[in-house]
């Protein structure tokens, strides 16, 4: 896996809940961490990609935090510029605010997998524009820049996927590489310690080693500058190959429940 230096402005970034934190700034292409001010270890990350005037929110988060996230979006763009929400799966910490976003603008597209899409009506949403990542694994911004969707079956949901931003090299990984921590940094500094935090999530939630290895192998052709999970700290370039190795070696879920089968 090759890596090249890009504009990941992560040096010394601390968590700051007062507003969005810019993680990447290139030519009319910006990426923000929007956080969510939740004290639990399961607190979640929300990310905003802004390409020219076209905004996409990655995993917009739970209903309880809609106002906070909407407020943070408003600090960097007009929320009417949000064209789509990407939902890596249907869990409430990922997708609960879908109803509020669609109430704000029914034209917002919902990017997700078919398996997630069939469950979203249970959030009380009516018709919406469904963008199926299985049929259309590339999102083209109006500028021509691309997001690529990489299916990640059974990590942890059958229809889970990750989103790769070609411009920044950022991989938005959803629950993959999630870590549980009540005192996290925005960016990982000690990867050995971080492994213990990822174990707290992966051992119980991820299906099995085969699922992890299968997904890791799908990343061979991608130059990954940083991994941006839905829980826990961002994994910067120096630790990306170790993070992929972590998936290759992971013993989790059914590996542990049925060790003798
Ligand atoms: Fe989840
Ligand atoms: Fe999650």
| pLDDT tens digits, 84-140 | 999 999 999 999 999 999 999 999 999 999 999 999 999 999 999 999 999 999 999
Ligand that comes closest to the CA of residue 205: 1
Ligand that comes closest to the CA of residue 231: 2
User: What secondary structure, in 3-state letters, does 194-261 show?
Assistant: HHHHHHHHHHHHCCCHHHHHHHHHHCCCCCCCEEEECCCCEEEHHHHHHHHHHHHHCCCCHHHHCCCC
Nearest to 71 by CA among 21, 108, 18, 129: 18
Asked if the model's pLDDT at residue 5 lies above 70, the reply is no
Q: Which CATH architecture describes the domain 21-257?
A: 4-Layer Sandwich (3.60)
| pLDDT tens digits, 175-206 | 999 999 887 789 999 999 999 999 999 999 99
* Spacing, Cα 227 to ligand 1 middle (Å): 17
Ligand that comes closest to the CA of residue 155: 1
In the chain, what percentage of residues exceed pLDDT 90? 87
* Spacing, Cα 93 to ligand 2 middle (Å): 6
For ligand 1, an ion, list residues with CB under 5 A.
Answer: 91, 175
Instruction: Please give the pLDDT value at position 130.
Output: 98
The label of the residue with tokens 């609960």 reads: 96
* Spacing, Cα 199 to ligand 1 middle (Å): 15
For ligand 2, an ion, list residues with CB under 5 A.
Answer: 93, 175, 230
Question: What is the residue extent of each domain of the chain?
Answer: 21-257
Q: Which two tokens stand for residue 209?
A: 């080693």
CA distances from 101 to 70, 105, 125 (A): 9, 6, 10
Residues in CB range of 12: below 8 A, 6 or more apart = none
CA distances from 156 to 97, 162, 176, 208 (A): 20, 12, 8, 9
């Amino acid at each position: 896996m090759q890596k090249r230096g890009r504009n990941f402005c992560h040096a010394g970034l601390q968590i700051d809940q007062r507003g969005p934190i810019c993680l990447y700034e290139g030519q009319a292409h910006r990426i923000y961490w929007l956080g969510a001010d939740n004290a639990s270890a399961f607190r979640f990350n929300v990310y905003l990609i802004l390409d020219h005037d076209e905004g996409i929110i990655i995993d917009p988060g739970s209903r309880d935090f809609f106002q906070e996230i909407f407020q943070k979006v408003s600090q960097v763009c007009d929320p009417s510029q949000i064209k789509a929400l990407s939902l890596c799966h249907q869990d409430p910490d990922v997708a609960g605010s879908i109803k509020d976003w669609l109430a704000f603008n029914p034209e917002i597209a919902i990017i997700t997998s078919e398996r997630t899409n069939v469950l979203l009506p249970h959030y009380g949403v009516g018709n919406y524009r469904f963008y199926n990542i299985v049929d259309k694994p590339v999102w083209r911004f109006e500028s021509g820049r691309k997001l690529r969707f990489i299916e990640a079956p059974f990590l942890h949901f059958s229809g889970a996927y990750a989103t790769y931003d070609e411009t920044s090299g950022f991989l938005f990984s959803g629950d993959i590489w999630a870590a549980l921590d009540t005192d996290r940094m925005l960016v990982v500094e000690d990867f050995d310690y971080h492994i213990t935090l990822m174990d707290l999530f992966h051992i119980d939630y991820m299906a099995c080693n085969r699922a992890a290895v299968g997904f890791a192998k799908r990343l061979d052709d991608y130059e990954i500058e940083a991994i941006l999970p839905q829980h826990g700290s961002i994994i910067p370039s120096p630790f990306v190959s170790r993070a992929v190795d972590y998936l290759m070696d992971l013993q989790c879920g059914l590996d542990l429940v049925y060790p003798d089968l």
